A and B are shown apart, each in its own frame.
Chain A
Amino acid sequence: MSLLEVSDVTVRFGGITALADVTCSVESGEIFAIVGPNGAGKSTLFNLISRFCEPDSGDVRLNGRSLLDRAAADMAALGVARTFQNIDLFETSTVLQNLLIGRHARRQASFASQIVFSPAVRREEIAHREAAERIIDFLDLHAHREQRIAGLPYGTRKVVEVGRALAMEPRLVLLDEPASGLSPEEARDMRFWISDIRTELGITIVMVEHDMGLVSAVSDRVLVLAEGRVVALGTPAEVQSDPGVVQAFLGVGAEPEA
């Protein structure tokens, strides 16, 4: 059984069909990339999996269980974390606090025990901080630990957002364009982190990415979307040589060079 199964999903926004009969599945331990031109429906697929939008038809299953009766806020506890294409961090909080909010679904303390800050809460808080510290080590964020997000450069925010998703200790993480807007050096770091997330943390990754270099370097399989439809699905090499893909990227009617 696949970790994540998307079957025959259609999503419409008014007149636009953002996803049309999309079917795909992600295996546990895989790095699964989604590529496609702007407006192809990549982020919509993410929003669907993380329960930020409803499908008009079709089903999404995690470990064989449908997610459609779950709310977005339930997904963290089910082990699904995500980042946002346009970076959506808690601006007024520090990096550490952002990572700690990522631990929210792992909390155990009751309402009353938090108000009196019982010894159990204290132990739990220390454990959360140790977990956040592991992420800080992993992503090399020491220098920014106590800094507010509002003052951080773009590249660092991208990393913090990935860190916040990892702090949730998910089984599956959805990264929406993790390398977009990064400098070449930052993008290279991000490439190593993405493969480390799988090998060291054992987390399955689904990512949307425009940088084909990054995609072919790290991903096992690639799903190509265009105008809400699946154009191709396969290994990076297979997909890149697929005539339909070239057509989708270059526009209808374009012929692949001989």
Chain B
Amino acid sequence: MRVPFKTSHRHDIRLFADRYQALRYAALLTLAIALPFLLDDFMIGEVTGVLIWAIGGMGLMILTGHAGQISLGHAAFLAVGCYANVILMDRFGLPFPVSFTLAGIVAGLAGVLVAVPVFRLHGIYLAIATLALTMLVEDIIVLTEPWTGGVVGLTAPTITIAGMDVDRFSSPDRFYWLCLSITLLVTLAYCNILRAPLGRAFLAIRDSEASAQAMGVHVARTKAAAFGLSCLVTGWAGALLGHYFYTFNHEVFTVVVSIQLLLMIVIGGIGSIHGAFYGAFVVGVIPQAINISRDWVTAVLGTSGVAVPGLETGVFGLILVLFILFEPYGVHGRITKWKTYFELFPFYRRDLFRRQKSYLKTERIR
């Protein structure tokens, strides 16, 4: 196993553990930038979708994975970002960089507003409160028809950046690069937060609110910050999603989408940035895989098309259950174990990652 030999505190706060890791990520980035030259337009569109979901996943990961607050309402913030961006572009004639930034901020502020009344709720109660939020926002969209187009919805205008049109259909490569740069920025900011006091405060309130308070972490403020940052990023994902879908209405942002975001980060690996990406990939790939296997089954059986309603949701559910039962740390957890297995070979023990029984926690104070 390679153990990075640390000789200074600088090593601890570096983005990459060592040169090899930095090189690996540089190679990955190069590949990502070159991707439009390697893939056709359809595939680039699919990859763009994965990136946008990864941004949304990171948004929820900050809140649920790192600050430990569950949310079943993040479709609402996708919607806020999506609508705010298009309305700011259409009605106020703002250029995309401005409308996009503002859309995130609007969603973030909405998140803080929501956090204040619900921050006293824990676990299932928080889940239910945020679930209600998605439904509420769906209704609000329909009711505020003059702004949102009601059930008909809106159409995202073409983005112009520095005189260049960036459009999902006519210039999918540029749209991909736009999404890629935003993904990079969000990822970098996320990494920064995790190595700064704010990220540690998130971990602290996730693990023990009593201890966090004793360390001087203001729980309510920290939760509000987590909600705000999370919704800001989710709002950005929503804004990109609007351009990705081209036309959209309230039906795009249903409770199912909230749940899908949550599934994504659980399948990907809760509590890690990698998890958001793995999750987005899995969620992006599964519908395609189902389509392909459906065609295959049809071809083999010779029947005229197997149409099982709800198949996709069923498969998602099954995968989720399997992960929770067998790999609670998701794809990221599995990959970490494989990596450790090869690095430690032949000294890997099955119990290496097993959590030790935890000792009594303070029962008397919350």
Q: Let me know if A109 is at the binding interface, CB within 8 A.
A: yes
Q: In the bound complex, how far is the Cα of B9 from the Cα of A125, in angstroms?
A: 9
When C-beta atoms are compared, the residue in chain A nearest to B12 turns out to be: A129
Tell me how many residues of B have a C-beta within 8 Å of chain A: 40
Query: What sequence of 0s and 1s flags, for each residue 166-187 of chain B, a beta carbon within 8 Å of any chain A beta carbon?
Result: 0000000000000000000000
Q: Which of B39-55 contact A (CB under 8 A)?
A: none
Q: Which of B188-237 contact A (CB under 8 A)?
A: 189, 192-193, 195-198, 200-201, 203-204, 206-208, 210-219, 225
Q: In the bound complex, how far is the Cα of B82 from the Cα of A245, in angstroms?
A: 70
Contact partner of B213 among A73, A85, A154, CB < 8 A? A73
Query: What sequence of 0s and 1s flags, for each residue 43-83 of chain A, a beta carbon within 8 Å of any chain B beta carbon?
Result: 10001001011000000000000000001111111000110
Q: In the bound complex, how far is the Cα of B210 from the Cα of A86, in angstroms?
A: 12
Q: Let me know if B344 is at the binding interface, CB within 8 A.
A: no
Q: In the complex the two chains form, is B362's CB within 8 Å of A84's CB?
A: yes
Q: In the complex the two chains form, is A101's CB within 8 Å of B204's CB?
A: yes
When C-beta atoms are compared, the residue in chain B nearest to A126 turns out to be: B9
Q: In the bound complex, how far is the Cα of B191 from the Cα of A117, in angstroms?
A: 9
Q: In the bound complex, how far is the Cα of B359 from the Cα of A164, in angstroms?
A: 18
Q: In the complex the two chains form, is B198's CB within 8 Å of A168's CB?
A: no
Q: List 19 A-B contacts (CB under 8 A).
A: A47-B365, A72-B214, A75-B216, A76-B216, A77-B216, A87-B360, A87-B361, A88-B208, A89-B211, A90-B207, A101-B212, A101-B215, A101-B217, A104-B200, A104-B216, A109-B196, A125-B9, A126-B13, A168-B216
| B196 cross-chain contacts in A, Cβ below 8 A | 109, 114-115, 117, 121, 125
Q: Let me know if B19 is at the binding interface, CB within 8 A.
A: no
Q: Let me know if A97 is at the binding interface, CB within 8 A.
A: yes
Q: In the bound complex, how far is the Cα of B327 from the Cα of A34, in angstroms?
A: 46
Q: Let me know if A91 is at the binding interface, CB within 8 A.
A: yes
Other 13 A-B pairs with CB < 8 A, given A101-B200, A104-B200: A52-B213, A73-B216, A77-B216, A82-B214, A84-B210, A88-B361, A90-B211, A109-B196, A115-B193, A125-B13, A129-B9, A133-B9, A164-B215
- 9 A-B pairs closest in CB distance: A76-B216, A105-B216, A114-B196, A117-B192, A90-B207, A129-B9, A72-B213, A107-B197, A86-B360
| A75 cross-chain contacts in B, Cβ below 8 A | 214, 216
When C-beta atoms are compared, the residue in chain A nearest to B225 turns out to be: A111
Q: In the complex the two chains form, is B200's CB within 8 Å of A97's CB?
A: yes
Q: In the bound complex, how far is the Cα of B195 from the Cα of A148, in angstroms?
A: 17
Contact partner of A84 among B195, B211, B212, CB < 8 A? B211
Known: A114-B192, A122-B13. A104 touches B358 (CB 8 A): no
* Count class of interface residues, chain A: 35 or more
Q: Is the interface of B mostly helix, strand, loop or mixed?
A: helix
| B361 cross-chain contacts in A, Cβ below 8 A | 86-88
Q: Is the interface of A mostly helix, strand, loop or mixed?
A: helix
Q: In the complex the two chains form, is B218's CB within 8 Å of A102's CB?
A: no
Q: In the bound complex, how far is the Cα of B25 from the Cα of A136, in angstroms?
A: 33
A82 to chain B minimum Cβ distance, whole angstroms, is: 5
Q: In the complex the two chains form, is B214's CB within 8 Å of A126's CB?
A: no
Contact partner of B215 among A87, A102, A116, CB < 8 A? A102
Q: Let me know if A130 is at the binding interface, CB within 8 A.
A: yes
Query: A-contacting residues of B (Cβ < 8 Å)?
Result: 9-10, 12-13, 189, 192-193, 195-198, 200-201, 203-204, 206-208, 210-219, 225, 271, 355-356, 358-365
Q: In the complex the two chains form, is B200's CB within 8 Å of A91's CB?
A: no
Q: Let me know if A201 is at the binding interface, CB within 8 A.
A: no
Q: Which of A152-195 contact B (CB under 8 A)?
A: 152, 154, 157, 164, 168
B212 to chain A minimum Cβ distance, whole angstroms, is: 8
Q: In the bound complex, how far is the Cα of B211 from the Cα of A125, in angstroms?
A: 21
Q: Let me know if A243 is at the binding interface, CB within 8 A.
A: no
Known: A92-B207, A122-B13. A115 touches B189 (CB 8 A): yes
| A154 cross-chain contacts in B, Cβ below 8 A | 359
Contact partner of B201 among A85, A104, A116, A117, CB < 8 A? A104
| B189 cross-chain contacts in A, Cβ below 8 A | 115-116
Contact partner of B218 among A53, A73, A92, CB < 8 A? A73
Contact partner of B365 among A52, A90, A115, A130, CB < 8 A? A52
Q: In the bound complex, how far is the Cα of B365 from the Cα of A82, in angstroms?
A: 14
A243 to chain B minimum Cβ distance, whole angstroms, is: 32
Most buried by A among B200, B356, B361: B200
Q: In the bound complex, how far is the Cα of B214 from the Cα of A90, in angstroms?
A: 12
Q: Let me know if A151 is at the binding interface, CB within 8 A.
A: yes
Q: In the bound complex, how far is the Cα of B208 from the Cα of A98, in angstroms?
A: 12
Contact partner of A85 among B12, B214, B217, B362, CB < 8 A? B362
Q: In the bound complex, how far is the Cα of B361 from the Cα of A85, in angstroms?
A: 9
Q: In the complex the two chains form, is B197's CB within 8 Å of A86's CB?
A: no
| B10 cross-chain contacts in A, Cβ below 8 A | 126
Q: In the bound complex, how far is the Cα of B10 from the Cα of A101, in angstroms?
A: 18
Q: Let me know if A150 is at the binding interface, CB within 8 A.
A: yes
Q: In the complex the two chains form, is B271's CB within 8 Å of A92's CB?
A: yes
| B362 cross-chain contacts in A, Cβ below 8 A | 84-86, 88
Q: Let me know if A26 is at the binding interface, CB within 8 A.
A: no
When C-beta atoms are compared, the residue in chain B nearest to A87 turns out to be: B359
| A87 cross-chain contacts in B, Cβ below 8 A | 359-361
Q: In the complex the two chains form, is B192's CB within 8 Å of A90's CB?
A: no
